Structure 1
Amino acid sequence: MLVDAHAHLLPRDYPADAPECFPRMEPIDGDTVRTLLFGAVRFRARDVFFDAERRIAAQDASGVDVEVVTPMPPLLRYDLPAAEGLSLARYVNEFAGTLCSADRTRLVGFGMVPMQDPDAATAELAAIQEQGLHGVEIASNVLGVSIGDERFLPFFAEAERLDLPVFVHAMPAMTDRLPASAMGTYVVGLEGALAAASMIAGGTAGKCPDLRISFSHAAGGFPLMLPRAQYFWGGAWNEEPVVPERAIAHDDGPSPIEYARRFYYDSLVFDRRAIRYLIDLLGHDRLLVGSDFPAMPREDPAGRTLLGMDLPAAVLDAITAGNALRWLGLPPP
């Protein structure tokens, strides 16, 4: 069994009388492709984004049994006024529910919320569940503020209370430290790292121990930052016992690596050497398959790199399916 825990959807259309803040999906004559127009975004969207039949056929063609479908990241527009952001989220969530209703054994839908208004976002979590959606997607920052900031703690506490899994998608924040061409590569990697680190450093991971949260692209550079954080916490190399006289940032709680091993990470890191590092540092029980499909092409077949790594059967089964089902709170098949 293979679960793709990182895939995306786009609504096919938006109402003719939709608020001006809504995106548009312009048809292309003689083609099933549509163009997403949303602020500065111009994106050519294939019909697999919004057609359930085509979507399931694509799963079959690439060896995917279940797909977690989340809103395409450009829809997470936290710069909109809160009321407009809520209206857009509700429309996208309704579409997600409709798309997944075609076959809920193959399509597991996540919704979105207006994180620019933490109170409204928190209140909307129950509505997401009531719509039959299985979790919520958020961006790695909210208008430049990392998700581990204390203002978002009630949101995560409510997700934990509702037993609702969270998917954090790395999203570029404005920076002039790198050229614009690096936004989708290096900056996304930095954002994933900052998001995961903020959940630990800001205290949310400690206050929400049962929160089921996953990070796209293995939280970017976060796994390489962890050993340094561990050293500052414990004063020792290689996760050895604490050396009190060397510890700089020690506390009585779990270590940074122990917190990090509560999170889940999709293993879309494009290199078997990186996957081996993730297994060694975080544990094979923390990793999921992800593809970013259909924004990016899947490997053929899905998970090809993982399948070719000669991993023990139990490890491979965990990464391809078992961990994702545990993150989602679904029973094994």
Structure 2
Amino acid sequence: MAGVQTAGVIDVHAHVVLAETFGAAGTLGPEMGGQDGDAPWFRVGEYRLDGVRYAGSAFMDPALRLARMATAGIDFQVLSPNPLTYLHHVPAAVAIRFCRIHNDALACQVAAYPERLAGLAALPMQDIGAAVEEFHRAVGDLGLWGAAIGTDMPHRLDDAGMDRLYDACVSRDVPLFLHPGPAGIDGPAGDPNLKDYDLDVVIGFAAQETLAVARLIFGGVLDRHPALDICLSHGGGSTAFLAGRMAQAMRKRPWSPPDHRKDGAFEERLARLWFDNHLNRAESLSLLTDLVGEDRLVFGTNFAGWDAPEDLGTHTPPAHLADNARRLLRRP
């Protein structure tokens, strides 16, 4: 516990790949190959990621992770599921088994390095009852610090059925993290325009995050759960750029209830969400900060990922971001 309490830099956006989960979803995998050559690959169902090496990398080797964290000046890291393995659209029994294996393995890994690492649970979101059950097991029994789920699942974030999970987060007093996964891994294929140039990740992720913000606010999730803390990846996607348009819609459109139509109602709710600062451009972060304030931002890197900041070893994030992370994580 002392590690996070005294950490000067806390990274809340860092994914982990766990060897114990390979083959845990049956024919869907996951599996990987080519890791010893020049063409590594990773497969989940019909989706194949090429050119990313997991074996012998910080994604899978905690010793390498800790060494790279030291080089990057990161004191503490919160590990979340690989977004390629959310499996929110597969048969519930497959997802339930996979998430249990994942969370057991993650809990073992972070327990070995409590001064440097913590973990967020994977949940079988196609069955909300099972997701709530696994959430309580992962947080209550395994000691994980919350959960991380995708933004694309069989039901929407503002679906009334999701209230059971939101209530569970409040009752356990832990945050919920949202991060997109590429459309089509185990569910609907998504926009075919996103299938080239990594657009499903570069633009599709931002679209999913922006949609998540809109549904959480327009759909009344924050009104129904005032004590709920949700943190969105990549600065909420395009939220900062589109906030004016979303606010105008909430004031003007017929679906908006009376209490949402008041001036500032959208902005007030937006400032109750949390965002990591992983936006890759200072001007974009400045726009988001102007909207939500300094106290709702946390430091995130997508550690070891293709879009991780290149200057981690030479740039120290502001100290207040670590204080914010401690508040979000309930580790004062």
Above 0.5 in TM-score?
yes
2:320 is the alignment partner of 1:318: yes
> TM-score, with normalisation over the residues of structure 2?
0.84
Pairwise CA distance, 1:29: 4.8
Match of 2:85 among 58, 75, 83: 75
Counterpart for residue 128 of structure 2: 118
SS at match of 2:89: coil
Alignment of 1:119-134 (within 5 A): 119-129=129-139, 130-134=141-145
Counterpart for residue 3 of structure 2: none
Matched-pair contact (CA < 8 Å) for 2:271–2:293:
yes
Distance in 1 (alpha carbons) for counterparts of 2:276 and 2:285:
10
Counterpart for residue 156 of structure 1: 166
Alignment of 1:234-245 (within 5 A): none
Distance in 2 (alpha carbons) for counterparts of 1:289 and 1:158:
25
Single out whichever of 75-84 and 13-22 deviates more from structure 2: 13-22
Matched-pair contact (CA < 8 Å) for 1:166–1:214:
yes
SS at match of 2:90: coil
Distance in 2 (alpha carbons) for counterparts of 1:256 and 1:34:
45
> TM-score, with normalisation over the residues of structure 1?
0.84
Pairwise CA distance, 1:25: 4.1
Matched-pair contact (CA < 8 Å) for 1:234–1:248:
no
Pairwise CA distance, 1:176: 2.8
Pairwise CA distance, 1:28: 3.9
SS at match of 1:115: coil
Single out whichever of 286-295 and 297-306 deviates more from structure 2: 297-306
Counterpart for residue 212 of structure 1: 229
Matched-pair contact (CA < 8 Å) for 2:275–2:298:
yes
Pairwise CA distance, 1:305: 6.7
Counterpart for residue 31 of structure 2: 24
Q: Any idea what the Cα deviations from partners look like across 1:192-233, whole Å, max 9, x if unmatched?
A: 000111011111111111111100001111222222333344
Unaligned runs of 5+ in 2: 1-7, 184-188
Single out whichever of 298-307 and 68-77 deviates more from structure 2: 298-307
SS at match of 1:324: helix
Counterpart for residue 180 of structure 1: 195
Q: Any idea what the Cα deviations from partners look like across 1:39-67, whole Å, max 9, x if unmatched?
A: 12235314311221111111100000111
Q: Residue 231 and residue 35 in structure 1: after superposition, are their counterparts in 2 closer, same or farther (change >3 A)?
A: closer
Pairwise CA distance, 1:258: 1.0
Return the letter of the residue paired with 1:317.
A
Distance in 1 (alpha carbons) for counterparts of 2:328 and 2:167:
16
Match of 1:200 among 208, 214, 217: 217
Q: Residue 267 and residue 273 in structure 1: after superposition, are their counterparts in 2 closer, same or farther (change >3 A)?
A: same
Q: Kindly, what percent of the aligned residue pairs are identical?
A: 27
Q: Residue 69 and residue 119 in structure 1: after superposition, are their counterparts in 2 closer, same or farther (change >3 A)?
A: same
2:180 is the alignment partner of 1:165: no
Q: Residue 266 and residue 68 in structure 1: after superposition, are their counterparts in 2 closer, same or farther (change >3 A)?
A: same
Matched-pair contact (CA < 8 Å) for 2:277–2:285:
yes
2:15 is the alignment partner of 1:8: yes
Single out whichever of 115-124 and 254-263 deviates more from structure 2: 254-263
Single out whichever of 253-262 and 280-289 deviates more from structure 2: 253-262
SS at match of 2:133: helix
SS at match of 1:59: helix
Return the letter of the residue paired with 1:38.
V
Counterpart for residue 44 of structure 2: 38
Q: Any idea what the Cα deviations from partners look like across 1:123-175, whole Å, max 9, x if unmatched?
A: 111101111111101001204x4322222121111111111211100234433
Return the letter of the residue paired with 2:156.
S
Alignment of 1:256-271 (within 5 A): 256-271=266-281
SS at match of 1:44: coil
Matched-pair contact (CA < 8 Å) for 1:218–1:267:
yes
The count of aligned residue pairs is 310
Return the letter of the residue paired with 1:280.
D
Matched-pair contact (CA < 8 Å) for 1:264–1:287:
yes
Q: Residue 224 and residue 146 in structure 1: after superposition, are their counterparts in 2 closer, same or farther (change >3 A)?
A: farther
Pairwise CA distance, 1:34: 7.2
- Return the structure number with greater relative CO, CA threshold 8 A, min gap 6: 2
2:92 is the alignment partner of 1:97: no
Cα RMSD after superposing both structures: 2.7
Pairwise CA distance, 1:16: 7.3
Match of 2:238 among 221, 225, 243: 221
Return the letter of the residue paired with 2:326.
L
Q: Residue 210 and residue 17 in structure 1: after superposition, are their counterparts in 2 closer, same or farther (change >3 A)?
A: closer
Distance in 2 (alpha carbons) for counterparts of 1:52 and 1:115:
28
2:308 is the alignment partner of 1:293: no
Distance in 2 (alpha carbons) for counterparts of 1:276 and 1:29:
41
Matched-pair contact (CA < 8 Å) for 1:82–1:117:
yes
